[in-house]
Structure formats: C-alpha cells, structure tokens
C-alpha cells in the first residue's frame, strides 16, 4: 500500500517511529495528484510549494520531539497532508467558493479551523472543488469544472463537498474538511465510500468559513475511517472567541472513547425513512447494517419522526432565505466580481451579480428573497421556523430513549454526471435523510455499510447534541461489522487521464 492510501492514524504511528517522513508522505500525495487529478478534478487550487515547506517544518518538529522524548505532545495530525474545501479561508491561498464571484479572492487571514490544523503541524495540500457557494448535491455546479467520483468517473462524487470526498477517496489527500449545511459532508462521504461527520451545531467554529446558511452550516471531517474522523474533530472543535455561536462545551478525547468496549446501545430506526423512494438495494444494506449492530450487542427499536416529511421544504426555505441575506454582500462594490462595462451603482450591482453567480446560486437567492419579502414572510419563512421547532422536538424525544438514530445517508448511490442537472427538485431530494440533523443541530455521521452494483453506500447515524463520543463508538462498531470492504475505490479505475 502506498503512503497516500493509508489512514491518518497509520501514518501518525510511522511518523512517530521515524519510519517515514512527512516529506515522503507529501511526495506520495502529490505523485497521486499528478497521476489522477486530470481525471478526478478534486482541486480548485493546489499549494505544492507551501505544502512541502510545511512538511519540512513538521519533520523538524518530529525529529526534535523524538530527541527530547516528548512525542506524546505531538498531534497525530503533525505532518499529515490534508485538503480544505474552497469555502474555508486560507491566508495567501485563494478561496473561491467555486464561483466566478470570488475567482481571484485571496484571504488575508485563516479560518479558525485552518489555523488550528496549521498550529498542529498539518500539511495543507490545497483547496477542493465544490458546488458554488456550497449550493448543490453533486459538485457539478462549480464555475471551474465538474469533479468525478473515483469509483466511477462517469458519476458524481456528491456535493457540495464533493472535491474533498473525491480527494480522500483517490489518495489525493489523507483527510479533508468539508462543510455541511444539509448533508454536504455526509452525502459525498456516502457516495465515495468514506466516513463523513457533521458535528453538533456550535461544536466547531465557523469563523472564516464563507457563509451559506448561518443557522445550519457546520465544518466537518471526511476521512477513511472513524478513528481518523475522531482525530480531526478533536483538532478543530472547541470555543472560538471570534465566533459568538461557538460553544464553550468541553471537547473530550474522542479517540479515547473509541477504546471503550461497552456495546449497550439503543438504536432507533425511524419508520418514516424506509419509504418507497428509497432504492431497494440500499434498503437491504441498511437492514443488514441494523442486524449487524444488533448482533454486536445493540438494542434496536422502531421510532417515529412524525414531522420529518416537512424537512426538505423547511430546509430549502430557511437555507435559501439565509443565503439570500449572506450573499447580499457580494455586490461588485464592496466585495466580489465587478462587471467591467457597467455604469452607475445600481447597474454595477445588477450586472456583477448576474454575471458573477451561477444559475443554481441565483435560483436559491431568488427563492430566499421571495420567502423573506414582506408579503410572504409569515406565509413561508416564519412557518418554516415553526416547523423546524417541531422537527427538533421529534428528534429530541427519540434521542431521550435512544443513543442514536440510523437511516440511509442518501436514497441512491452516486448518480451519473448530468443525470439530474435539469431537475433541481430531484437534486434537492438527495438531502431527504440528511437535512434533519442540520435543522435539529444534532451531530450525524455517514459510515460505509456496503456496496450496490460496485458503488459505495453509507448508513447515517444521528446522535445527541455534543455527544459525538457515543456517535463515534457506534459508528466504529458499524464500521467493524460491515464497512471494511468499501474503503478504497479500485485503483485500476484511476489509471489514465480523461478530459474533464
């Protein structure tokens, strides 16, 4: 196995033992990028020179720690090449949100999550492709190029964090960060055979993350296994004085919780989620996952989320309304792309936004603006907020008697590129299982549970607020029971180079 195909914790052990260097790992990752990036299209920007500088610095710190006998003070992320979604600000590296609007934007500061990874000695390989401003479920809505799924180049990697998922699945990064507003970490993880976590709302700082929907957005890791996911969450979680919404809740040792052997879990299966729109093959794999957890010692109970049918409608009202507000700053005057041939303030704003935003972003801005208008505020936005409260109540009630809720992550496997582009509603329905976690603020993780017709399938686990430790333990149990066979796409699929 090549270094670029190993997990964070495997490489951390080799680095601590002095058996490999961060420079060697980084070389392996960039060799893989040179080999497959033309086919995959995972990145908007790579930072090769900076990455090797960071790798050399990590090697120096590791050597000094070994000499002092203080390796216990070194983070497992020291010297590990990671990728960041391109809506996470990085000082000196452009942050485009995969949009013409920000195509040349180079932030003067790091997002808190980027700074925390840098402080721990992680190596930042580059910025990954995404649906423009995180609005999409397929990473086809990028202003730059389409990202392809390493399992099948004719299929999407999911979205909106598809570039991050594709990079990790293809060995172009050892781990990655994405953002999840309605499933944008979990769905790509499911499509690419990876573990993807949306933490509890407020667990991770959003400072320096370009906002889509401020009450729903969360940064989360995409990794090759649950252990790596726990490592990355520990690194980025915690209170940040620059984000007033971040929680002071203590951050536990998630990896330590994975060592606990207790399997006395109660897992709820919502009857509403096993509906006719779910692919029968995915339903069978989820049923198998439930049985595997039961065989491992968990107690399975049927539960109900009676207001879950409203989740998609509620989500797309709240998310688009908040997007309309957040993206108002992109006006060509204070911020973002400016049309060259427009004259007068109104013309500059109108033409810059018309040319700078892609069709899906404009669609959502218009939906959100309509929902917030004085004539429709009570009818749409206020009603959505009330329904969100009912959904939160349902989830809390179930989690009072269950340690987590299990469901499919997505109703289908990765679909073909272009298959749903002309049907926005079909794309929106890809989030049918994932939006509930964002609307309720609860943590949720997607774990591989098998393959269907050669493509990965993920099971979603939704846990209690700020109890990611228990969620990781159940996810690890599920991973051991049925996830081992779907961690890597077939390497022969990544040979050659196909035009994007």
* Nearest-10 Cα torsion for 359, 364, 367, 372: -140
Pairwise CA distance, residues 178 & 134, whole Å: 10
495 is catalytic: no
Q: Specify whether the CB–CB gap between 179 and 163 falls below 8 A.
A: no
For this structure, is 164 an active site residue?
no
**Of 160, 190, 308, 407, which is the active-site residue?**
160
Question: How many CA atoms, within 13 angstroms, populate the side-chain half-sphere of residue 178?
Answer: 42
The active-site residue, picked from 28, 39, 85, 205, is: 85
- Quote the CA–CA distance of 85 and 331 in Å, as a whole number: 23
Active site residue 67: no
Selected catalytic residue, list 99, 138, 164, 184: 184
Orientation of helix 311-326 relative to helix 359-372, angle to 10°:
100
| Residue spans of alpha helices (H) in 205-344 | 226-236, 254-258, 280-295, 311-326
**What is the number of alpha carbons within 13 Å of residue 340 lying toward its C-beta?**
0
The C-alpha atoms of residue 470 and residue 258 are separated, in whole angstroms, by 8
State the DSSP code for 274. S
Tokens of 113: 């999550």
3-state SS, one letter per residue, for 228-266: HHHHHHHHHECCCCCCCCCCCCCCCCHHHHHCCCCCCCE
Handedness of CA 336, 135, 405, 305 (dihedral sign): positive
CB neighbours of residue 352 within 10 Å:
22
Q: Please give the positions annotated as active site.
A: 85, 160, 184
């Amino acid at each position: 196995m090549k270094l670029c195909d190993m997990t964070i914790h495997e490489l951390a052990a080799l680095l601590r033992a002095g058996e490999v260097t961060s420079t060697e790992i980084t070389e392996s990752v960039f060799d893989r990028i040179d080999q497959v990036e033309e086919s995959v299209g995972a990145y908007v920007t790579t930072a090769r020179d900076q990455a090797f500088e960071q790798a050399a610095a990590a090697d120096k710190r590791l050597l000094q720690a070994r000499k002092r006998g203080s390796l216990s003070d070194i983070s497992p992320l020291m010297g590990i090449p990671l990728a960041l979604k391109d809506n996470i600000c990085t000082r000196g590296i452009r942050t485009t949100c995969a949009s013409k609007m920000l195509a040349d934007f180079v932030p003067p500061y790091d997002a808190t999550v980027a700074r925390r990874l840098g402080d721990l000695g992680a190596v930042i390989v580059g910025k990954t492709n995404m649906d423009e401003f995180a609005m999409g479920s397929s990473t086809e809505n990028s202003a730059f190029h389409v990202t392809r799924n390493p399992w099948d180049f004719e299929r999407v990697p999911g979205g909106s964090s598809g570039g991050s998922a594709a990079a990790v699945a293809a060995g172009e990064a050892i781990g990655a960060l994405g953002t999840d507003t309605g499933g944008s970490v979990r769905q790509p993880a499911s499509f690419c055979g990876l573990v993807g976590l949306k933490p509890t709302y407020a667990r991770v700082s959003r400072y320096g993350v370009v906002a889509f929907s401020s009450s729903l957005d969360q940064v989360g890791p995409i990794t090759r296994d649950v252990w790596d996911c726990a490592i990355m969450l520990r690194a980025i979680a915690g209170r940040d004085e620059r984000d007033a919404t971040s929680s002071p809740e203590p951050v536990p040792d998630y990896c330590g919780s994975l060592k606990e052997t207790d399997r006395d879990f109660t897992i709820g299966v919502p009857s509403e989620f096993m509906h006719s729109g779910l692919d029968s093959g995915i339903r069978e794999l989820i049923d198998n996952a439930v049985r595997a957890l039961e065989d491992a010692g968990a107690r399975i109970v049927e539960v109900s989320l009676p207001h879950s049918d409203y989740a998609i409608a509620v989500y797309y009202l709240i998310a688009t309304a908040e997007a309309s507000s957040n993206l108002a700053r992109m006006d060509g005057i204070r911020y973002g792309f400016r049309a060259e041939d427009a004259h007068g303030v109104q013309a500059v704003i109108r033409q810059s936004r018309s040319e700078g935003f892609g069709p899906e972003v404009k669609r959502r801005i218009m939906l959100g603006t309509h929902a917030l208008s004085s004539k429709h505020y009570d009818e749409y936005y206020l009603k959505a907020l009330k329904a969100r409260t009912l959904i939160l109540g349902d989830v809390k009630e179930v989690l009072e008697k269950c340690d987590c809720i299990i469901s499919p992550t997505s109703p289908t496997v990765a679909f073909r590129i272009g298959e749903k582009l002309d049907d926005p509603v079909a794309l929106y329905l890809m989030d049918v299982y994932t939006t509930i976690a964002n609307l309720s603020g609860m943590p949720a993780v997607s774990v591989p549970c098998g393959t269907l017709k050669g493509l990965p399938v993920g099971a979603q686990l939704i846990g209690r607020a700020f109890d990611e430790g228990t969620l990781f333990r159940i996810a690890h149990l599920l991973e051991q029971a049925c996830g081992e066979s779907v961690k890597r796409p077939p390497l022969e699929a990544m040979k050659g180079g196909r035009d994007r």
